[in-house]
Amino acid sequence: MARNPSKIGKIPIRISITDSREESIEQTENAKEDLQVFSDGSALEGKVGAAAILIHKGRHVKTLHYHLGSDKEHMVHEAKLVGILLGMHLLNSRKGKKASAMIGIDNQAAIKAFKSELRNPGHHLAREALYIANSIRKAKAKGSKSKDTLTIQWTAGHEGIEGNELADKEAKEAAKGHMTDTKQLPKYLQKPILINPSTVKKVYKESLPKEWQEEWRTSKRGTATLVIDDTTPSTKFLKSISNPKLSRTAASAIAQLWLTHFPLNGYLKRIGKVDNTRCPVCGEDKEDIKHYLLRCQAYAHERWPLIQHAAKKRKPLTLQTALGDLQLMLPLAAYIHATGRFTRSGERSTTQTSNTVQSEVLTAEDEG
């Protein structure tokens, strides 16, 4: 356990979180404590920092800055806890520890961490703040009847509260790299703090899609797909085969065309399934996807409706048009069906859905 289970929820400070921003503003403006600390954490330009300022009877007395490091190793939530830790240190460093004091911060999650089991990443900072709070409480308890003279309260951010605004400004300076002399910091912060594993995992997880995209775009198949769609990898491929009027067979064929895994002799010869790459219907030396869709003279009649649909969009029939235009998916499926290139001899003529596609294309031509 990160802390004694019997003491979870029992802390040497009073926590105050109002129900609304308006109440928070009013509470802060009417605060009676002699010592007021405002702390904040910020991320800026890939760096993370925290700051705390001490105000005594309305006068700005002292400021502490701490630069956590890169946002690839730390998060703002940690910075908020560092800000509270700095605030505790400011109060503990003063001679008059018996004076009433409050620490204001604009993050409720950071405040609620003090009543948790302190097992999450970054909570080691809250644990250190509690150690200092215990020291402050013991000093206050000597000769005092009240032990609840140290309060951490939620102060609504960006509401014109002077202490909050100043803490936010100083936290940004800390994020840029400004740091208080190490000797003036809490002992726990006089050495680099622990790297946050949650942040490291998050950064790694976010980098994976980018790495995969670059790897795909430079691969042999990715390069071929770029000819069809220069935004690949994208959702355009899924949209092209997701038309509800496409049969599973037609969608599968279009997917294979996109991925250059289409059972034409140019591909089948490469994987050792046929003896040569020659087109079986027109006799051209290499039957590849471009030949099958655009050039094969044996399919000129079947290709004509596809050319007409492309012409209506004022586009020539190219691989980019035939496979990349979502409105040509049904005519493309009809073309594949009409060629009969992949229908086994004696096999019944495709499915009802394929026939529907063919009739819809013909209907569209008649209406045109």
Asked if 176 and 27 sit in the same domain, the reply is: yes
CB 9 within 8 A of CB 115: yes
Kindly state whether residues 95 and 140 are assigned to the same domain: yes
Give the separation between CA 96 and CA 139, rounded to whole angstroms: 9
In a domain, 212, yes or no: no
Residues 83 and 125 in one domain: yes
**Residue 252 carries which side chain, given as an amino acid letter?**
S
The answer to the question of residue 210 being in a domain is no
**Which pLDDT does position 159 carry in this prediction?**
86
Q: Are residues 232 and 318 in the same domain?
A: yes
Q: Quick one: pLDDT at residue 295? A: 94
164, 196, 228 - which closes a domain: 196
How many structural domains does the chain have?
2
- Whether 201 maps to a domain, the answer reads no
Distance of CA 70 to the CA centre of its chain: 17
Please report whether residue 209 resides in a domain. Answer: no
> Is 104 in the same domain as 68?
yes
Residue 236 lies in a domain: yes
Domain span at residue 305 reads 219-367
> Measured between alpha carbons, how far is 349 from 357 in angstroms, rounded to an integer?
13
Q: Does one domain contain both 153 and 231?
A: no
Task: Kindly report the pTM of this predicted structure.
Answer: 0.69
> To which H or E segment does residue 103 belong?
strand 101-105
Classify residue 49: in a domain, yes or no. yes
User: What are the φ and ψ backbone dihedral angles of 344, each rounded to 5 degrees?
Assistant: -65, 145
pLDDT of amino acid 110? 94
Half-sphere exposure of 196 (CA within 13 A, CB side): 24
Phi, psi of 72 (to 5 degrees): -85, -10
Residue 335: per-residue pLDDT: 95
Alpha helices in 259-351 (DSSP H): 265-270, 289-290, 300-312, 319-324, 329-339
Residue of 37, 32, 35 lying closest to 51 (CA atoms): 37
Euclidean distance between CA atoms 368 and 366, whole angstroms: 5
Ranges under pLDDT 70 in the chain = 1-5, 7-9, 96-98, 140-148, 344-368
CATH classification of the domain holding 151: 3.30.420.10
Judge if 307 and 184 occupy the same domain.
no
**Residues 27 and 153 grouped into a single domain:** yes
Considering the domain architecture, whether residues 166 and 95 belong to the same structural domain is answered as yes
Pair (333, 189) in one structural domain = no
User: Residue 229 falls within a domain, yes or no?
Assistant: yes
Say yes or no: 243 and 179 in one domain: no
Is there a single domain that holds both residue 178 and residue 266? no
Does a structural domain hold residue 154? yes
Q: Are 53 and 62 in contact (CB under 8 A)?
A: yes
